A and B are shown apart, each in its own frame.
Chain A
Amino acid sequence: MTQLLNADEVSRALKRLAHELLEANHGADDLVLVGIQTRGVPLARRLAALIEEIEGTEVPAGAIDVTLYRDDLTRRGPLPLGETRVPVSVDGRTVVLVDDVLYTGRTIRAAMEAVLELGRPARIRLVALVDRGHRELPIRADHVGKNLPTSVDDRIRVHLEEVDGRDEVVAE
C-alpha cells in the first residue's frame, strides 16, 4: 500500500477546490453540492463548510446513491442501497456532483441520470478529489483535486476521517 496523498494534501486540495468552485460560479448563489455515496457525501459536506467559511454563505449539501441507475448491476449483483437526500429542489440551480475518485465515468453517468430525475437543474458540474484516468465515457471533471496517472490494475482508495478515521489517498 502506497500513500499518494496525506491528510494535509487532501485538506489543501479541498480548500483549492472550494475556491475554484466559487470562482467558476461567480459566488455561492444557487449552488447545491451533491455527494455521490459513499465517500462523495462527506466531501460535499466539507466543501460546503469551506465555502461558508470563505463566503459567509450557507450552501446546501446533499447525497445521492446511484446504485439503482448503474449499468453493471447484472454483473455485480445486488449492492446495498444508500440514502438519496437533496435538501432543496435542484430546479434552476447549479448542481455540483462531488465524487472521491473519477475513473471510468460510469458512476458519473448514472449520477447525472439520478439528478435529472430529481428535477431540472440549470447546469451540472463535477468535482473529483482524484482523477485516475481510464475513462470509458466522454466525461471530464470541471475541478480536480489531484490528477493521478494509474494503471488499470491499480486500486485507488480515498480514506476520509468521517468514514475511515483518517484522511489519505492510497494505492493498494
Chain B
Amino acid sequence: MKPLSNLISIEDLDAEQVVGILDTAEQLLPIADRRRNSVPTLRGKVVCNLFLEDSTRTRISFDLAAKRMSAEVINFSGKGSSVSKGESFKDTALTLDAMGVDCVVVRSGSSGAPLQVSRYLEVPILNAGDGWHQHPTQALLDVFTMRRHLGDLAGRHVVVCGDVLHSRVARSEVQALRLLGARVTLVAPPTLLPPAPESWGAEVSGDLDAVLPDADVVYLLRVQRERMHRAFFPSSREYARFWGLDVDRLARLPDHAIVMHPGPMNRGVEITADVADSDRSVIIEQVTNGIAIRMACLYLLLSGDTEGAEVTP
C-alpha cells in the first residue's frame, strides 16, 4: 500500500489504500469498542482538532480515536478562539506549526480549508468535513460498516437517498463505493440533486420504491436545514412521504439489506423512529466503527516519519 501523507479527499486514494485503511480498522475495532484496552502506539504525539465549524460528534470521535492510541489531543475551535478575533487562516496554521503539533484534524464550513492548511504545514492533515466538498472518514467508516455486513462490496448495490446536493458525505461516499466496485443509485428530489449527477459514476432515480427491492444498502442522508437557504421541498411531511424510509418501504428490501444514516437523524423526516430502531438499522454500529476508522487513519498517518528503515525481527 502506498503510504498516506494527508487524508483530504477520497479522490486522492486508490482502491488498495482504501482496503488498507479498512483492514487496519478491522484490527483496531476491539480497541475502539473497548473489548481491549487502549494501546501505547501514538504516545508522545500531539493531535490538534481544528474545528472551525461546530460538530460535537465528529470531534468526540476523533478525540477518542487519538486517546485510545495514547496520543495527546488539543482542541482548537472556531468560537472564542483567535479565529473569531479575525486571525487569518494562515496565521492559525502557522501558530499550530510553531506549537509543534504532529497532526491537524480540520473541520470547516468552507470547502478547501483542509487543503489550504496542508499547504502551510508539513505535518499530516486529516479532513473532518469541509463545506459541501468531502468527509472522507465518514465515507470510510460507512464502507467499513457495509463490508462487515456484506463482505466484498464489488457488485453490491447501494441506494443513497436524500439531500445529495448539500452533502459532502454523499460525494465522498460515492467515490469510496466506486473504488470498491459497488453500484450506487442516487435517489433525491430533483431540487436536491447536483448538476450532472451522472458524472459521479452513479445511477439516478426519482423513485425510491422502485429501487428498494434490488438494494443491499439504503443510505439515508440527513435533511440539512442549516445548509438550505431557500425552499427545496414544500414540507417535512411531504419529504417523508416521498423520500423517507418507513416500515412499509423497509418491507420492500431484501432480507439481508441494511439501513444506514450518518447522523444526527431527523426522526420522522428521512427515517421513521421504528425503522431507525429496527434490527435492520446499523446506525449505532456506524458510530463505533467511526472510532476504529479514525484510529486507523491516525495510525497510518502518524507512525513512521522516515522511509526505508531496516526491519528487524
What is A's interface to B at a CB cutoff of 8 Å?
65, 67-69, 72-84, 100-101, 103-104, 106-107, 113, 117-118, 156
A107 touches B303 (CB 8 A): no
Q: Which residue of chain B lies nearest to A156 when distances are taken between CB atoms in the complex?
A: B313
Q: Which of B23, B24, B299, B313 has the most CB of A within 10 A?
A: B313
Complex CA gap A67/B31 in Å reads 14
Contact B41 A73 (CB under 8 A): yes
The residue among A68, A76, A77, A80 with the most chain B CB atoms within 10 A of its own CB is A68
Inter-chain CA distance A158–B253, complex, in Å, is 51
Cα A79 to Cα B27 in complex, Å, equals: 12
The smallest beta-carbon distance between B292 and chain A, in angstroms, is 11
Flag if B313 contacts A76 (CB, 8 Å). Answer: no
Give Cα A103 to B310, complex, Å: 14
Q: How far is the CB of A89 from chain B (nearest CB, A)?
A: 12
A122 to B30, CA, bound (A): 24
Contact with A along B111-132 (1 / 0, CB 8 A): 0000000000000000000000
- B313–A103 CB distance below 8 A: yes
Q: Do residues A107 and B41 form an inter-chain contact, with CB atoms below 8 A?
A: no
Chain B contact surface mostly? loop
Evaluate whether A78 and B23 lie within 8 angstroms (CB atoms) in the complex, with A101-B313, A104-B312, A113-B40 already known.
no
Q: Which of B23, B40, B307, B312 contacts A69 (CB 8 A)?
A: B40
CB-CB nearest in chain A for B37: A117
A73 and B312 contact, Cβ closer than 8 Å, known pairs A68-B41, A83-B27 = no
Query: Are A82 and B305 in touch, CB under 8 angstroms?
Result: no
> What A residues does B311 contact at CB under 8 A?
76
Q: Please indicate the chain B residues that have their CB under 8 angstroms from the CB of A75 in the complex.
A: 304, 306, 309
Please, which residue of chain B has its CB at the minimum distance from the CB of A101? B313
Measured between beta carbons, the chain A residues less than 8 angstroms from B303 are 73-74, 77-79
B305 pairs with A81, CB closer than 8 A: no
Given contacts A76-B304, A156-B313, 11 further A-B contacts (CB under 8 A): A68-B41, A69-B41, A74-B303, A75-B306, A78-B300, A78-B304, A80-B24, A81-B23, A81-B28, A117-B36, A117-B37
Query: B74 at the A/B interface (Cβ < 8 Å)?
Result: no
Min CB gap A15→B, angstroms: 24
Measured between beta carbons, the chain B residues less than 8 angstroms from A84 are 27, 30, 36
Q: Which residue of B lies closest to A67 (CB)?
A: B41
Question: Knowing A78-B299, A83-B27 touch, does A69 contact B39 (C-beta < 8 A)?
Answer: yes
Tell me, yes or no, whether B264 is within 8 Å of chain A by CB: no
As a 0/1 sequence over residues 3 to 45 of chain B, the CB contacts with chain A under 8 angstroms (1 = contact) are 1000000000000000010011001101100001101110000
- Identity of the chain A residue whose Cβ is nearest the Cβ of B36 in the assembled complex: A117
CA gap between A75 and B36 in the complex, in Å: 26
Give B309 Cβ to nearest chain A Cβ, in Å.
5
Given A74-B304, A78-B303, A103-B313, are A65 and B27 neighbors across the interface (CB < 8 Å)?
Answer: yes
- Of the candidates B28, B300, B305, the one whose C-beta lies within 8 Å of that of A74 is B305
What residues of chain B lie closer than 8 Å to A76, measured between beta carbons?
A: 304, 309, 311
A73 in contact with B36 (CB, 8 Å): no
Assembled-state Cα–Cα distance A107/B313 (Å): 7
Q: Which residues from chain B contact A118 at a C-beta distance below 8 Å?
A: 36
CB distance from B57 to the nearest CB of A (A): 25
A80 to B41, CA, bound (A): 13
The B254-313 residues at the A interface (CB cut-off 8 A) are: 299-300, 303-307, 309, 311-313
